[in-house]
Each structure stands twice: as structure tokens, then as C-alpha cells.
Structure 1
Amino acid sequence: MKVKLFVSLIMLTICFTAFAQEKQSTAVAEKGLTKVCVMYPFAEGKTFDMAYYETKHMPMVAGFLGSNLVKYSIEKGIASGIPNQPLPFMAIGTFYVKSLSEYQAAIGPNRDAIRADFPKYTNISPVILVSEVVK
């Protein structure tokens, strides 16, 4: 019985250590990357189809980025940071890429296809922020 408990504790420690190292290496790997945030502001009468965005639009754009893409994320807005205030953004799609110039080179020839896909999931004009991850 004590041996099983000891083995379980060792396995738990190994799993926790591996998880902590993975989290730390992910954070370090992001520093210096270019982050492209595509933000969809909330407004009365505006719509957003999250299922389409998640399963069709973002994978399509990610495919254009190829090996320059490190990862992407999708966020669904749920509240404002101030109580009783409107939601600032309905959704935010973020791409983490190694090179801004490679990102621009990949998006440029596909811009029309990307824009033509907008009406399939939203009637919102997105706001785009390009930044460098510093930490």
C-alpha cells in the first residue's frame, strides 16, 4: 500500500514538473513573435457566427500562413471589464507568427478570399492590431 502511494506521488511530481516546463518553454518561445489580433467590436445589430469562424475561417487563414505560423487562438467576448458596460469585442482571433514580412507576403495574395469569407460569419468590420510579444 505504501509503495503504491509512493509511486503515485512520484508520478504526480513528474507530471507536474513536465507541465510546468511546458508552460515555461511556451512563454519563452512567444517572446519576439509578431502577434496579429483581429478584433470584432460589439455593436447593437451586429452578428458573429463563432462556429463558422472556429471551423472554417480561422483554419483557412492559418493555412495561408504555413510554417511562419506558430499558433493561433480564438476568443469569444463574454463581458466588459467594467460592470454594466457593453461588451467591447464580440470575438478576437490572434495569430502568432515568426515574421511580419512573411505574414504580409502570405496574406497579400489571399486578401480577397479572406474578405469574401467575412459575410459568412459576421457583419462586423474588424480592427487589426499588429504587435511584438515582449514577454
Structure 2
Amino acid sequence: MKLKLIASFFLLISSFAAFSQEKQNSSVVEKGLTKVSVMYPFAEGKTFNMEYYETKHMPMVAAFLGSNLVKYTIEKGVASGIPNQPLPFMAIGTFYIKSLSEYQAAIGPNRDAIRADFANYTNTTPVILVSEVVR
């Protein structure tokens, strides 16, 4: 019994160490990248088609970004951080990129196509935040 307990303890410690190392490695990969967050505000009467956004819109924009794109994420808003307050955003799409200037060069000529596609999944105007990942 004592030997099983010790073995379980060492297994737990080694699992935690591996998880901790994985967390450190993932933050190192993202540090220094530029993050483009496209946030879709919630308001009465506003709609958002998540399936279209996930299967059509985001892959289209990702293709424009090419090798400059490290990864992208899609988030569905579910609640406000404050109880009994309205949802601030219906959805957020995030692109992690290596170079802001390459991003702008890729998006510029495709801006009209990207904006025209909004009507296929939402009737709200997104708020865009460009930031640097520091950790």
C-alpha cells in the first residue's frame, strides 16, 4: 500500500511537471506575436451565425494571411463577467500573426471581400483590437 502511494505521488508530480513545461512552452511560442481580435458586440436585435463564421468566414480570412498566420481562435460569448449584466460580445475571432505589416498587406486588397461577407453571418459591426502578446 505504501509503495502504491509513493508511486502515485511520483506519477502526480511528473504529470504536473510535464503540464507546467507545456504551459511555459506555449506562452513562449505566443510571446512577441501580434494578436488581432475581432469582437462582435451584443445588442438587442443583433444576430450571429457561428456555423458560417467558423466554416466559411474565418477560413477565408486565414487563407489571405498565409504563412504570416500562426493560429486563429474562435470564441462564442456565453455570459458577462458580472452577474445579471448583458453579454458584452456575441463572438470574438482572434488571429495570432508574426508581422503586423504583412497582415495589413494581406488584408488591404481583400478588405472589400471580407466586409461583404459580414452580411452572411452577422448584422453588427465588429470592434477590432490589435495588440502585442507579452505573455
- Alignment TM-score, normalising by the size of structure 2: 0.87
Deviations 1:65-111 (A, max 9, x none): 01100111001001111111100000000000000000000000110
2:3 matched residue in structure 1: none
Equivalent AA in structure 2 for residue 91 of structure 1: A
Give the secondary structure class of the aligned counterpart of 1:59: helix
Could you tell me which residue of structure 1 aligns to residue 71 of structure 2? 71
**Unmatched segments (≥5 aa) in structure 1:** 1-7
2:130 alignment counterpart:
130
Pairs within 5 Å for 1:110-121: 110-121=110-121
Taking the aligned partners of 1:24 and 1:47, their CA distance within structure 2 comes to: 38
Does 1:53 find its partner at 2:53?
Answer: yes
User: What does 1:35-114 correspond to in 2, within 5 Å?
Assistant: 35-114=35-114
1:79 partner letter = A
Kindly tell me the number of residue pairs found equivalent between the two proteins: 135
| Structure 2 equivalent of residue 29 of structure 1 | 29
TM-score if structure 1 supplies the norm length?
A: 0.87
Offset of residue 45 of structure 1: 0.2
Q: Which runs of 5 or more residues in structure 2 are unaligned?
A: 1-7
Secondary structure at 2:39's aligned position in 1?
strand
